[in-house]
């Protein structure tokens, strides 16, 4: 068996007591050294990892919203606090930490210090929130989702909502860009484990760009169909990304009503439907949440 490293286990004389101590001590030392080397490396790579992730997300958001380089991106994090029957929702925006009843009634609102707003890592923000909100058990306060606001000058220029949906295999995580009238400007798949050649095609422009340009009303009644994707529509879809959303939507304005539904990827109807359902839910929920959170932005 070539798979076995080394020789098969042969019966050896059991090591003497002294030898055993030396072996154990030797292994312990090796393990300690290993732990120290890796720990050191961890301290170097962890911040780099977080920084790169942050940069990657920002680039994606800027691309989706077509922001100018001067624009600012503000993350809004949502938490749920559950104690017994009582559930509260907590929003951490750029300015406020708002603690709200489920129907939106304000319980408390704190100003957020600048260093928390500017913190790149999610962990730093979560730590701060946990310090402000008193709970009996840390398990009762949980991060529940987030979205981003693109700020051009001092005006919001659009929103990017993070959504998750159960795909064919595991979770599919996506970003969805929308303007202030809840029209989708683009969808970007961030993480998925769908099959290459099949479900993995959801990352392709000819699929994900089918959501762009659709309003809340369009999305609410959209469905997934198995018809073949028309050639001219595919050509149009491939353009978005090379050109920003607004000129694209202007150029292909009359194409959208002709293609009111989402064309499923051949052989991957489940993945296509999963993304559509996810987008639908994310948009609907975001509209409801926006009514409450808007005044804290």
Partner 1 sequence: MSEHRTPPPVSTMLMRGLFEENPIFRLALSLCPAVAVTTSVKNGLMLGVAVLVVQVLSSMSGSLVKHIINPKIRIPVFTLLIAIWVSAMDMILAAYFADIYQQVGLYVKLIVAFAIIISRMELFSMKHSVVPCFWDGLGMGLGFLVGLVLAGAFRELLGSGSIFGIAILPFKPLLLVVLPAGGFFTIGLIMALFNWVDVKRGHKLPSGGGGAHG
Partner 2 sequence: MADAKVVSPHEILVEGALPADAASIRLVRSSDADIPLAVISVKPGAKSNSFLLTTAETLNSQDNYQLTAKGVDQPWEIAPSPLALVFSVIIGSALINNFVFTRYLGLCVFFGVSRNKDTAIGMGVTFTIVGLLSGMIAWALNTIALVPLKLEFMQIIAFIGIVACLVQATDLILKKVNPILHKKFGIYLVLITTNCIILAVPLLNATSGATMLQAFGLSLGAGLGFALALFLMSCAIEKVNMAPVPMVFKGLPVAFIIAGLFALSFLGFSGLKVA
Determine if 31 is a binding residue for partner 1 (CB under 8 A).
yes
From the list 191, 232, 238, 294, which residue makes contact with partner 1 (rule: CB under 8 A)? 191
Determine if 56 is a binding residue for partner 1 (CB under 8 A).
yes
Task: Please give the Cα distance from 142 to 184 (Å, whole number).
Answer: 28
User: Three-state SS string across 40-62, please?
Assistant: HHHHHHHHHHHHHHHHHHHHHHH
CB of 45 to partner 1, least distance (A): 4
80 binds, among partner 2, partner 1, none (CB under 5 to 8 A by kind): partner 2
Task: Please give the Cα distance from 92 to 111 (Å, whole number).
Answer: 10
Comparison of 30 and 217: residue with beta carbon closer to partner 1: 30
From the list 195, 234, 249, 284, which residue makes contact with partner 1 (rule: CB under 8 A)? 195
Q: How far is CA 124 from CA 89, 121, 129, 250, in A?
A: 19, 6, 9, 41
Determine if 80 is a binding residue for partner 2 (CB under 8 A).
yes
Please give the structure tokens belonging to residue 136: 């009996």
Task: Please give the Cα distance from 293 to 275 (Å, whole number).
Answer: 25
DSSP state letter for 285: H
From the list 62, 95, 140, 169, which residue makes contact with partner 2 (rule: CB under 8 A)? 169
Task: Please name the residue ranges forming H helices in 15-153.
Answer: 17-65, 114-118, 122-132
Please give the structure tokens belonging to residue 250: 């202007």
Decide: helix, strand or coil at residue 217. Answer: helix
102 binds, among partner 1, partner 2, none (CB under 5 to 8 A by kind): partner 2
CB of 125 to partner 1, least distance (A): 20
Comparison of 66 and 289: residue with beta carbon closer to partner 2: 289
CB of 35 to partner 2, least distance (A): 6
Please give the structure tokens belonging to residue 74: 């503000």
CB 173, CB 180: distance < 8 Å = no
Determine if 107 is a binding residue for partner 2 (CB under 8 A).
no
Determine if 42 is a binding residue for partner 2 (CB under 8 A).
yes
Q: Which residues pair with 263 in a beta bridge?
A: 225
CB of 102 to partner 2, least distance (A): 6
Place of tokens 């969805």: 176
Determine if 171 is a binding residue for partner 1 (CB under 8 A).
no
Comparison of 169 and 205: residue with beta carbon closer to partner 2: 169
From the list 20, 23, 29, 35, which residue makes contact with partner 2 (rule: CB under 8 A)? 35
Contacts of 194 (CB under 8 A, 6+ apart): 167, 168, 169, 172, 200, 201, 202, 268, 271
Contact residues toward partner 2 (CB under 8 A) are 1-5, 8-9, 31, 34-35, 38-39, 41-42, 78, 80, 82, 84-85, 87, 89, 102, 144-145, 168-170, 195, 270, 285, 288-289, 292
Contact residues toward partner 1 (CB under 8 A) are 1-6, 12, 15, 19, 22-23, 26-27, 30-31, 34, 37-38, 41-42, 45-46, 48-49, 52-53, 56, 191, 195-198
């Amino acid at each position: 068996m070539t798979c076995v490293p080394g020789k098969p286990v042969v019966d050896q004389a059991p090591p003497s007591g002294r030898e055993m101590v030396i072996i154990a001590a030797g292994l312990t030392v090796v393990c300690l050294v290993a732990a120290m080397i890796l720990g050191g490396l961890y301290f170097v790579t962890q911040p780099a990892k977080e920084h790169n992730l942050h940069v990657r997300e920002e680039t994606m958001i800027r691309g989706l919203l077509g922001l100018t380089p001067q624009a600012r991106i503000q993350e809004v994090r949502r938490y749920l606090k559950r104690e017994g029957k009582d559930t509260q929702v907590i929003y951490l925006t750029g300015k406020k930490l708002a603690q709200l009843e489920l129907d939106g009634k304000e319980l408390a609102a704190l100003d957020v210090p600048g260093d928390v707003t500017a913190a790149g890592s999610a962990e730093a923000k979560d730590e701060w929130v946990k310090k402000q909100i008193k709970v009996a058990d840390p398990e009762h306060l949980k991060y529940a989702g987030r979205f981003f606001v693109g700020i051009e000058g001092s005006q919001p220029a659009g929103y990017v909502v993070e959504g998750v949906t159960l795909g064919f295999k595991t979770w599919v995580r996506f970003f969805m860009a929308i303007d202030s009238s809840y029209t989708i400007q683009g969808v970007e798949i961030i993480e998925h484990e769908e099959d290459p050649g099949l479900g993995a095609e959801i990352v392709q422009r000819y699929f994900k760009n089918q959501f762009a340009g659709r309003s809340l009303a369009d999305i609410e009644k959209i469905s997934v169909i198995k018809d073949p994707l028309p050639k001219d529509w595919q050509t149009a879809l491939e353009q978005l990304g090379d050109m920003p959303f607004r000129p694209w939507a202007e150029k292909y304005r009359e194409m959208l009503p002709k293609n009111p539904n989402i064309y499923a990827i051949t052989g991957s109807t489940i993945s296509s439907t999963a993304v559509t359902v996810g987008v639908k839910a994310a948009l609907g929920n975001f509209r409801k949440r926006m009514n409450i959170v808007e005044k804290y932005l």
